Chains A and B, each alone.
Chain A
Amino acid sequence: MGGNSKDIKGFVSRNSIWLILIILILAVGVIQPKFLSVGNMVTLISGEAVRGIMAFGVMFAILSKGIDLTIGSTAALVAVITASFAQEADYANRYFEGGKPLPAILVILIGLAIGVVIGAIYGAIIAYTKIPAFIATLGGQLICRAGAKMYSDSPISKLTESYRFLGHAKIGPVPVIIIVFFLMFAISAFLLTQTRFGKNVFAIGGNDQAARVAGINVERTTVLVYVWCSFCAALGAILLTGKTGSATPASTGLNYELDAIAAATVGGTSHTGGICRASGVLAGILILGVINNGLVMLKVDDNMTNIVKGLIIVGSVILDMRKNAKRV
């Protein structure tokens, strides 16, 4: 009974976000053909990679009916600490006077470990005290940002090329940061659909009581969600400092959590929990990227760009909710 047309309809409905992305790209491209150049696409994706990776983290928190507002500040803290260990030996204003930079791989591991520890701490607070994730991570945001500023009151720059490899280098024509971005997409998608962890997060977001009765360790899973989220933030910090070549305690990663949450949301992750697709979030990231990059190319002023972004965020959720309501 028209099964085929139903399948197509279902496919389009499930992937409507990609359709929106394509329309947006074409629309900007028609007005400004330079937008469609390979060079610009590389710039666009490199520009969104850091926020995108953070979105792949925060989508797990949102899926579990939580949120993570700490991301940007965690990134700042990780950024200043790793940067301080990765400054060139001959630089005059070294954070550690004298001394030599640590091997890049060690610095990166330290940075990721800091992220994991921070995530574990507030993950545990959320899981075991049951306070809302919004509150716990709002507090964490202030504390981490203050921590970054206490660690250093000025920007830390002149970082070694080996440390900057992930954020700055290219393999052939392709920036490493883009490779890392797509790798993180693949890993998130894998975690989400192919592992027990992913299924458990879906269950907790869908109905945490039922998840508990079904034998899921809700607390442990919640801690892992924020560990992952914070890990992504730390990786973002390493890419960001590598890309820009410096870490600034007051501004590195500022408001990145909001961009990440926006991308995850536009990508169809439901704030009432239980709905998330990695491919949707990828599209969400790219949509915001097209707006960030494309509207600049079209010389739209900054305020107008933000208005468009705001409308897209709100509009996408309205559409999603209607779509989900219809399935009842």
Chain B
Amino acid sequence: MQQEYVLEMIDIVKEFPGVKALQGVTLKVRPGKVHALMGENGAGKSTLMKCLLGIYQANSGKIIYDGKEVHFKNTQEALNAGISMIHQELSPVPERNVSENLWLGRVPVKGFKVDHKKMRQDSLDLFKRLNLDVNPDAKMGSLTVAKMQMVEIAKAVSYDSKVIVMDEPTSSLTETEVEHLFKIIEDLTARNVAVIYISHKMEEIFRIADDVTVFRDGCHVATEEAKNLDIDKLITLMVGREMTDMFPKVDCPIGDVVLKVENLSAGTAVRNVSFELHRGEILGMAGLVGAGRTETAEAIFGMRHITGGKIYKDGKELHIKSPEQAIKNGIALLTEDRRGSGIIGLLSIIDNTVIADLKKYGFPLNHKKMRADTEKYVEALNTKTPSVDTPIKNLSGGNQQKVLVGRWLLTAPDVLIVDEPTRGIDVGAKAEIHSLLSKLAGEGKAIIMISSEMPEVMGMSDRIVIMHEGLMTGILDRNEFDSELILKFATSDEKYVKEAQ
């Protein structure tokens, strides 16, 4: 007899010192269905999954899997029982090859010897089954992030699990690979595997989810069939309030040219990119992964060696060789990789806020002023933190991002470049960041916004630069915005030519 649920997590409570991360939540997953887990960052989705996988132990509550109550003490036990997870953050061993990464911790052996032949063959079989084009002998580190993610997905599938948890699996995938993943998910559900799918991307949820469970602040808010929901309803459930305006772009007067980029090149990553940026303007940059948008920003900010072209600010040519000089020239860059090159996790909110502009605080450092300035930005940006002395790593992604925005605003830049400013942060914080960017433009700042999210880049920009593999393929004015058009020029070297007026 087929059970109604393959997995039931009932009344799960998980407390951390000082925080009740899960306050008795329930999740019931049907076999062969995609169950989307939604909620703002900090709502408890990942915590619940970690309780399931045995990474955390719940304080109370029951987990019933396959009809039996289970308590996994570690991931290994969960895997053996048939529950696997694709983590949001990859943990590859970059110096070893793909097949070793794939069978890490469970290499096939012949006696004492590792059976390399079988390992390679198993990898090939798996890739063939999933229709993946990956060379099992390639070094893991030589793959693109997207390919690595696909290997990670293949790995999770290879356990022949009954339940697969996918935590933001598409965050580093291109459109084609996302399609591929959805195909794999379809195959999995056809074989009666249940998929728990965590994502912030609404379109994905409505494409593939059968059921949707929404959490808020560690509590279960609702479980619905996806067909009974729409985006507005879902957002309301997630944030607990009406989200009327996700993209509060206000038109503001566009001023003089602040930054002029002329035939900028940086190796093969950026080739002959030219544009002008005006005061009060938000210039969007659209394109796929590897389009050279981040690299363009890095070249302007002095992080990447420029091999050709010129950059002018306020009519004066710049020769920037380091971020230090870029900051001196009134340019700021909020990087894409918040953990890798943004926050300094161990340090306090204060230290993280003032670090780019320490000169201001003299010798010896004026700690009072540092604190006052930090508190000012915490308040202005509505950053939620117990205190300004809290280590930044303890904050949620959205709040970390606000601290970083504060860091850059403190340097009083004329040009603010933001690279994927809302990636991985929850809807509420996202809308706040959007309105903040809009406000800054209104105050006369010039903003370049790199974004892979079509609605974001179209909703927020005055103009959009489209790039493809290092080339700039077009600049659209606001009245020309069209997602199909953008996608078209983001996927080919063809240049966009404005229609005759």
Contact = CB atoms under 8 A, between A and B. Distances in A.
A115 B341 CA distance: 34
Contacts of B17: 326
Interface of B: 17, 301, 303, 322-324, 326-328, 333, 335, 337, 340-347, 351, 354-356, 358-359, 361, 363-365, 391, 393-394, 407, 411
Given A196-B358, A196-B359, A199-B365, A210 B342 contact: yes
Nearest to A193: B365
A274 interface: yes
B351 A199 contact: yes
Nearest to A199: B358
Nearest to A327: B391
Contacts of B303: 212-213
B172 to A, nearest CB: 18
Given A194-B364, A199-B358, A213 B345 contact: no
B393 A203 contact: no
A216 B303 CA distance: 12
B301 to A, nearest CB: 8
Nearest to A326: B17
A206 B352 CA distance: 11
A313 interface: no
A200 interface: yes
A210 B361 CA distance: 20
Interface in A240-282: 274-275
A202 B364 contact: no
Given A196-B365, A207-B341, A274-B346, A214 B394 contact: no
A211 interface: yes
A328 interface: yes
Nearest to B326: A215
A151 B347 CA distance: 45
A212 B325 CA distance: 11
Interface of A: 190, 193-196, 199-200, 202-203, 206-207, 209-217, 274-275, 326-328
A206 B356 contact: no
A207 B343 contact: yes
A326 B17 CA distance: 9
Contact of B355 (A195, A211, A275): A211
A199 B355 contact: yes
Contacts of B407: 214
A197 B326 CA distance: 20
B346 A206 contact: yes
Given A214-B407, A327-B391, A194 B340 contact: no
A211 B337 CA distance: 13
Q: 8 closest A-B pairs (Cβ-Cβ)?
A: A194-B364, A206-B344, A209-B341, A214-B356, A215-B327, A274-B346, A196-B358, A215-B324
Contacts of A327: 391, 394
Given A207-B345, A275-B346, A214 B355 contact: yes
Nearest to B393: A328
Contact of A274 (B347, B358, B411): B347
Given A202-B344, A210-B342, A214-B407, 16 more contacts: A195-B364, A196-B359, A196-B361, A199-B355, A202-B347, A203-B347, A203-B351, A206-B347, A207-B341, A211-B355, A213-B323, A214-B327, A216-B324, A216-B355, A274-B344, A328-B393
B346 A194 contact: no
A207 B411 CA distance: 20
A69 B367 CA distance: 34
A195 B365 contact: yes
A115 B243 CA distance: 63
Given A196-B365, A209-B340, A203 B394 contact: no
A1 to B, nearest CB: 10
